[in-house]
Amino acid sequence: MTIFDKILAGQIPCHKVYEDTHVLAFLDVNPIAPGHTLIIPKEAKAQLDELSDESAAAIGRVLPRLCRAVMAATGCTAYNVLQNNGGPAHQAVFHVHFHIIPKPDAESGLGIVWPAAKLDAAAGAALAKAIAGCVQ
Ligand code: 5GP
């Protein structure tokens, strides 16, 4: 049982901002900017790739609405939506969650290291074909 399952079960408190049949949203307990919000499915899955279409659709439906709410409440016009899967990808709580993180200015909010490389045309074509062949 993750800490988010305990929040869903009402065993530990949270600052709730939204709830429906499939989704709960609440403030992050260690915000990296004011208004840092977490959106979770009620379905207990660790990673996004495991999530049912029903939960995924429910999150997709409310995510932009919650972004607008965070913007309106905090006054931010820039923000990041972050979703980590797996320990090496900085996931700490193994229950699917999306972060909405206001980016008030260059110094605060989410900092990103983006080690971009140039896509090789032949390798890119092969990789796109391989991924496309795996879409179900
Ligand atoms: P991750 O690195 O897994 O994407 O992020 C997990 C997030 O969950 C962190 O930002 C962390 O602050 C937040 N978090 C961990 N435990 C709790 C908790 O008990 N309550 C709330 N509201 N947030 C939590």
For residue range 42-63, what is the model confidence (pLDDT) as tens digits?
999 999 999 999 999 999 999 9
**Can you tell me the mean pLDDT for 12-37?**
98
**Can you tell me the mean pLDDT for 76-102?**
98
Take residue 13 and report the two structure tokens written for it. 């408190």
pTM: predicted TM-score of the whole model, two decimal places = 0.97
Question: In the prediction, which pLDDT does 52 show?
Answer: 98
CA 115 – CA 41 distance, rounded (Å): 31
Give yes or no for residue 81 CB within 6 A of ligand 1. Answer: no
Mean pLDDT of the chain: 98
Residue from 38, 81, 82, 98 to probe ligand 1 pocket by mutation (most atoms less than 8 Å from CB): 38
CA of 4 to the centre of ligand 1 (A): 8
